[in-house]
């Protein structure tokens, strides 16, 4: 099987590439190295079944050649991270919308199956219960640029499902909830690597807001296995699936857990969102997935609990 991964040198993309190479696939990866890194694919860079193209998915001639030669496409390339979204709203919309449109249009040209990586962000400020795929979205005002990412990924989903309905293109949409693990950087605002790095270095562990907001964390290897099974499952085509761990924890409790597991002397500091991100920022108070649909289809069950997830990140940064 020949597979293309957009964003293949990124955090999730590199883990997916490693696993697919391990399974015997010939993997083509394209990444512009904006947030991806060559070091992420160092383990497989010399493997004859792995091919990395350093370019943007907006380069249609390059993408046309790649899409033509593969059987499946995992579309993971996107502008990610809260700081990126706040600092680069134009690039966020450009890559997330135009990039996905390019991938789908070329996939349709050659009728290649596509898995679109979406995000839990599309649920917006919905806090009533664990989030199911058919729940309504609750978006903030367009004057808050925080919501640009969520809206761009929502449009990606609409576009993917439109290609499935109108063009009969085999498409699967996976909504990822806080994927974490080795290689994730805290540079763009990802919470767990930031906490771990600060704790190891003895610096203050910074919690934005009051820390009562909750998140659900899933190890990248569990996410990768789910993506591969969704790609291989014909019954998933034309549908949307939450991918994540339904164990919930508050951010202040996560900070305390990291502090304890690293045996760090670091203090936990609380900083207002405005000071961290500037004006135009809103956060979601709760984000926990309902994953029953995924369990029923592919038997999904995360193999890493929260302690194992945190420990894997600690081990990575200590190395």
**CB of 221 within 8 A of CB of 303?**
yes
Rounded-to-integer distance, Cα 210 and Cα 128, Å: 20
Angle formed by the axes of helices 306-318 and 251-262, to 10°? 50
Q: Kindly give the pairing relationship between strand 214-215 and strand 286-287.
A: parallel
Please return the burial class of 158, using the count of CB atoms within 10 Å of its CB with bins 0-12, 13-18 and 19+: exposed
Rounded-to-integer distance, Cα 122 and Cα 69, Å: 32
Give the residue among 109, 110, 111, 121 at the shortest CA–CA distance from 156: 121
From 28, 149, 188, 277, active-site residue: 149
Element (H, E) at 224: helix 220-232
The 214-215 sheet, strands edge to edge: 249-250, 214-215, 286-287
CA distances from 167 to 57, 108, 115, 163, 278 (A): 22, 7, 16, 5, 43
Rounded-to-integer distance, Cα 56 and Cα 164, Å: 25
Q: Is the Cα dihedral 87, 92, 94, 95 positive or negative?
A: positive
Question: What 3-state class would DSSP assign to 100?
Answer: helix
Question: Is 28 a known active-site residue?
Answer: no
**CB of 207 within 8 A of CB of 256?**
no
Rounded-to-integer distance, Cα 274 and Cα 68, Å: 46
Q: Which residues are catalytic?
A: 149
């Amino acid at each position: 099987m020949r597979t293309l991964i957009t964003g293949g040198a990124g955090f999730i993309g590199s883990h997916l590439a490693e696993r697919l190479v391990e399974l015997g696939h010939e993997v083509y990866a394209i990444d512009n190295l904006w947030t991806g890194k060559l070091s992420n694919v160092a383990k497989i860079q010399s493997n004859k079944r792995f091919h990395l193209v350093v370019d943007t998915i907006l380069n249609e001639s390059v993408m046309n050649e790649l899409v033509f030669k593969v059987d499946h496409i995992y579309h993971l390339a996107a502008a990610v991270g809260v700081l990126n979204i706040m600092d680069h709203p134009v690039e966020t919309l450009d890559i997330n919308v135009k990039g996905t449109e390019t991938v789908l249009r070329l996939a349709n040209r050659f009728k290649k199956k596509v898995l679109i990586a979406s995000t839990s962000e599309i649920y917006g400020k919905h806090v009533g219960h664990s989030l199911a795929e058919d729940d309504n979205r609750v978006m903030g005002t367009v004057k808050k640029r925080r919501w640009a990412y969520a809206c761009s990924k929502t449009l990606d989903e609409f576009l993917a499902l439109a290609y499935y309905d109108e063009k009969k293109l085999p498409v699967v949409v996976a909504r990822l909830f806080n994927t974490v693990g080795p290689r994730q950087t805290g540079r763009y605002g990802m919470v767990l690597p930031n906490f771990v790095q600060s704790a190891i270095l003895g610096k203050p562990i910074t919690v934005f807001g009051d820390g009562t907001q909750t998140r659900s964390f899933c190890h990248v290897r569990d996410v990768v296995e789910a993506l591969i099974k969704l790609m291989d499952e014909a019954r998933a085509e034309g549908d949307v699936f939450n991918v994540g761990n339904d164990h919930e924890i508050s951010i202040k409790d996560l900070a305390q857990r990291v502090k304890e597991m690293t045996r760090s002397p670091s203090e936990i500091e609380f900083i207002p969102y405005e000071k961290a991100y500037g004006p135009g920022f809103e956060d979601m108070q709760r984000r926990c997935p309902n994953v029953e649909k995924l369990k029923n289809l592919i038997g999904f069950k995360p193999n890493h609990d929260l302690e194992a997830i945190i420990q894997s990140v600690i081990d990575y940064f200590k190395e």
